[in-house]
Amino acid sequence: MAARGAAISQAGRSRARGGGPAGPDPPVIAYGSTLLVALASDRFVLVAQIGDGDVVSVWRDGRVTTPVPGDPSLDGRYTTSLCQPGAASSFRIAAIDAEGGAVRAVLLATDGFGNAQSADPWPPAVGEDLAGMLDEHGTRWVADRLPTWTARCASADGSGDDTTVALLVAAR
């Protein structure tokens, strides 16, 4: 996947996890940090993730997939994090076969993005929308609008959560 374009957008403010009924979280786990990373080449897109968020692959044949395995320990409130002891063992990884140009785009997004989507499940709807906009308007147009879309997801009209999005688009 020779990347023709990549765009990154972040909106919102990071917030500390508050305490529950039992009181504040211990200082060691009071803050969390999600990390989603991708390394693209002509043959593969390697992705790794710790914490909540999503990686969505958009294929030229119209398929939309979520290649990173799910994490059963995520409960919607607590997440695995770079801040935890032994964080390396909580990383989830995937290799996407990009040979032959079958992958159109790869979206990496923190959970604030997915939580702001109205479709459930949201990846197929967003993937189809991305493919349509890339076809109709091109990579530059999508990249120029990504910060606005990200900010909307982080706003009170969206999830209200801090939101970071990265979009890799394959060269044709």
* pTM of model > 0.85: no
Domains and CATH numbers, the chain: 3-170 (3.60.40.10)
Comparison of pLDDT for 82 and 24, the residue scoring more = 82
- 16-to-29, 49, 78, 163 alpha-carbon distances in Å: 10, 20, 12, 14
pLDDT digits (tens, 9 = 90+) for 89-146: 889 999 999 888 899 999 998 877 777 788 889 899 999 999 999 999 999 999 999 9
User: Measured over all CA atoms, what is the biggest interatomic distance in the chain, rounded to whole angstroms?
Assistant: 54
Q: What is the pLDDT of residue 134?
A: 94
For the segment 10-36, the average pLDDT, to the nearest whole number, is: 56
Task: Return d(Cα 66, Cα 54) in angstroms, integer.
Answer: 7
In the 8-state DSSP scheme, what is residue 12? Answer: S
Comparison of pLDDT for 23 and 78, the residue scoring more = 78
